[in-house]
Amino acid sequence: MKKSTVGAYGGWLARLAEKPGPLSFLNRRLHSPADWRSAVRPRVIARLNPPDAGGTPRVRVIEKYEWEGLHIERLEWRLPYGPPTSALFLKPAGYAERLPAVLALHCHGGNKYLGWEKIARGRRPPTRMLRWHVNHYYGGVFWANELARRGYAVLAPDAYAFASRRVRTADVLDRVRGGAPSADPVTERDIRRYNDWAAGHANVMAKALFAAGTTWPGVVLAEDRKALDVLCARPDVDRERVGCGGLSGGGLRTVYLAGLDYRVKCAVCVGYMTTWRDMAVNQCWTNTWMVNTAILPGEMDFPEILGMRAPLPTLVMNDKKDQLYNLGEMRRADRILGGIYRKARASDRYRCSYYPGFHKFDLPMQSEAFDWYDRWLK
């Protein structure tokens, strides 16, 4: 018997997960991508059931300055629930005209204490922990800054349950807090203790969200759409030339946001593309509750969520030795997306690239991603 993450139940779950569901593009009754999208998009949103996050948030500028050739703003806005959302906005200094823009989506990385700081930098020096993270996953650079220097307006917001949006241990019941620090972390050791606690608390949060009638990806989608509202409302942004992208958890956020919000004209999904079968049988233990919703996996495969945006330009980037996925399933997801774009007569607007090494978004990958943005947003 072949081993799986769920033991003897693996083969059974694999068979369940590999069948084309009623919402799948492989369902022959849906002939064109446009017909398919209009039929399934409302159903997908209903499965996610994102909460009401209000209208376009009122943004407060915490500070504004120029640094290393960039105009930088540290922003904050409130949603109808939870603590304020923090974000960093960057663009080339001295530019007054409307610029193409990218919503830069930070990763998970097992670090919920940090958010946009993982990919964007202001003038404050990075900590040792942050520097390690950027070196390990991003080739030693803050890619949002590098993209801004290339002529883009870039907004990097904190995601739900990360950084400014994280759960404070002082606010939870004592029996739930366990051994986590009761005060806000200060030292690197405290931050590691917080991140260990937050990893376990994700199970509690997921149960709570399901019990309340919503889902983790639904909440993340709602909040990323509010960040997109903020970006598109800026007078220095050309709202007809807006993209999004990110690595890992940022790639996951790209799947849902770019698949369901067509203000995103160009998408780059890095290190988060596989199939539901892969997640069910091989890799569910490495993945996050941010991806999971009920019923939808039985109706359409995971790559089809991103495929709903066809024929809008989409780049998927994989690492061949990515610890989070099975290479065969990454290739299967590629075939699904490629088939959707061929039926949309837009094969030139879809690309899937494979790089050597483990889970990352390094400098060669960033170069290809930035060229993709240039091709479709400039």
pLDDT tens by residue, 288-322: 888 888 899 999 999 999 999 999 999 999 999 99
Q: Residue 26 pLDDT more than 80?
A: no
Alpha helices in the chain, H assignment, sequence order: 10-18, 33-48, 128-138, 143-149, 174-177, 188-211, 216-232, 249-260, 276-278, 302-307, 327-343, 363-377
* pLDDT at site 49: 96
What is the C-alpha separation between 88 and 60, in angstroms, rounded? 12
Mean pLDDT of 51-75: 97
Which one-letter DSSP state was computed for residue 282? I
Q: Which residue has the higher pLDDT, 185 or 53?
A: 53
Q: Supply the range of the domain harboring residue 200.
A: 47-377
For the cut 90, the answer to whether the pLDDT of residue 24 exceeds it is no
Count of domains forming the chain = 1
Give a yes or no: residue 263 inside a domain. yes
Average pLDDT over residues 24-39: 79
Distance CA 201, CA 190 (A): 16
Phi, psi (deg, nearest 5) at residue 66:
-110, 135
Angle CA 319–321–322, to nearest 5? 65
What are residue 173's DSSP bridge partners?
Answer: none
Residue 87 lies in a domain: yes
pLDDT of 103 higher than 90:
yes
pLDDT band at 247 (very low <50, low <70, confident <90, very high): very high
Q: Is residue 7 part of a domain?
A: no
Q: Evaluate if residue 358 carries a pLDDT over 90.
A: yes
Confidence at residue 30, expressed as pLDDT on a 0 to 100 scale: 63
Residue 180, pLDDT above cutoff 80: no
Q: What value does the mean pLDDT of the chain take?
A: 93
In a domain, 17, yes or no: no
Give the span between the Cα atoms of 89 and 122, in whole angstroms: 10
Is position 19 within any domain?
no
Sheet holding 350-355, edge to edge: 59-67, 70-77, 85-92, 153-157, 99-104, 237-247, 266-270, 314-319, 350-355
| Measured distance CA(65)–CA(260) in Å, rounded | 34
Query: With bands split at pLDDT 50, 70 and 90, how would you rate the model's confidence at 31?
Result: low
Asked if residue 18 is part of any domain, the answer here is: no
118 Cα distance to chain centroid? 13
CATH no. for residue 373? 3.40.50.1820
47-57 average pLDDT score: 95
d(CA 309, CA 280): 25
What's the pTM? Answer: 0.95
80 preceded by a cis bond (ω within 30 of 0): no
190-245 confidence digits (pLDDT tens) = 899 999 999 999 999 999 999 999 999 999 999 999 999 999 999 999 999 999 99
Between CA 55 and CA 160 the distance in angstroms is 17
Residue 100 lies in a domain: yes
User: Is residue 187 in a domain?
Assistant: yes
pLDDT band per the 50, 70, 90 thresholds, residue 28:
low
Task: State the pLDDT at residue 375.
Answer: 98
User: Residue 184 above 90 pLDDT?
Assistant: no
The residues, any chain, with a CB within 8 Å of residue 75's CB and separated by 6 or more, are: 59, 60, 61, 62, 86, 87, 88, 89, 155, 230
CB 176 within 8 A of CB 162: no
